[in-house]
Amino acid sequence: MSILKLTVLMLGLCALSGVVHAQDDGAVTPYRPSVSSPAQLPQPGQLELELGGLSTKLDDDHRASLPYTVKLAFSDTWGVLVSGEALVSERQGDAARNRGFGDTTVVLKRAYLVDSATAFGLEFDAKVPTARTAIGSGKADYGVNGIYSRDMAKVHMDLNVNLTRLGAVDAGEGRIQTGASAAFSMPLDAHWGATGELSGTRRTGTDSTAQLLLAATYSPGKQLVIDVGFARGLNHAAPDWALFSGVVMPLGRLW
């Protein structure tokens, strides 16, 4: 599976979006393409889908996947997310390629809205090991993520700090992983936008990771956002590079 095929799939979804979104739903609230999550929730009652294509390379390991997220807010302050990988194709060196469904993560989210420009958030997540052990870890992970979001003139900032308790670790490795990320996005005109982000993780007994992400977004209307971009590892422990593209759109209004 190549990034080209994944991108073609995204374009096909965009072509169908005009039929899917015939009803007058509200504006979507994109969480992708950055690692950071915003504190804000989608519009209450509006079911949103995020679907993308991702291709990464780390040394001799090549991985392609179809990440997805389904989001639903019960109110302005509480919501739930279900995310995972609809399909994973992974190969290390000359070894046989592994294909299958990825792990699934369920997130309970609480937003604290200070004013129209400032918000805090908390996410409590649990990863369910739905993938085969050749693709996933085979163990459940649990985490908490703290979020600070702020609008500064035209620039929107999302700061995340998180702790994850990993279910599968090797001897001599710590079970608790810490992570931090800072994403900045801004509109370039009525339809185009740009996003930049720095992120990284740290865990006892393993090398820390760090990466830079850059992306462009295009929104033909308030109900559809298309993104494309890349990430570059800043040290040897992070993936060498990653290419991605995706869409955010409403599936419908439940109430």
Percentage of the residues of the chain whose pLDDT score is greater than 70? 90
Q: Which of 50, 49, 53, 51 is nearest to 5 (CA)?
A: 53
Q: For 156-186, what is each residue's pLDDT tens digit? A: 999 999 999 999 999 999 999 999 999 999 9
C-alpha radius of gyration, the chain, whole number = 18
Give the pairing type, strands 118-128 and 241-253. Answer: unpaired
Query: What's the domain range around 87?
Result: 3-253
Please tell me the pTM assigned to this model.
0.91
Number of domains comprising the chain: 1
The reported pLDDT for the residue numbered 234 is 97
Name the residue among 133, 147, 58, 59 with its Cα closest to residue 98.
133
Q: How far apart are CA 44 and CA 63, in angstroms?
A: 35
- C-alpha to C-alpha distance for 89 and 131, rounded to whole angstroms: 12
Report the CATH number that the domain containing residue 237 is assigned in CATH.
2.40.160.40
Averaged pLDDT for residues 117-138: 95
In 204-222, which positions are buried (b, 16+ CB within 10 angstroms) versus exposed (e)?
eeeeebbbebebebebeee
Could you give the C-alpha distances from 17 to 35, 129, 132, in angstroms and in order? 25, 31, 32
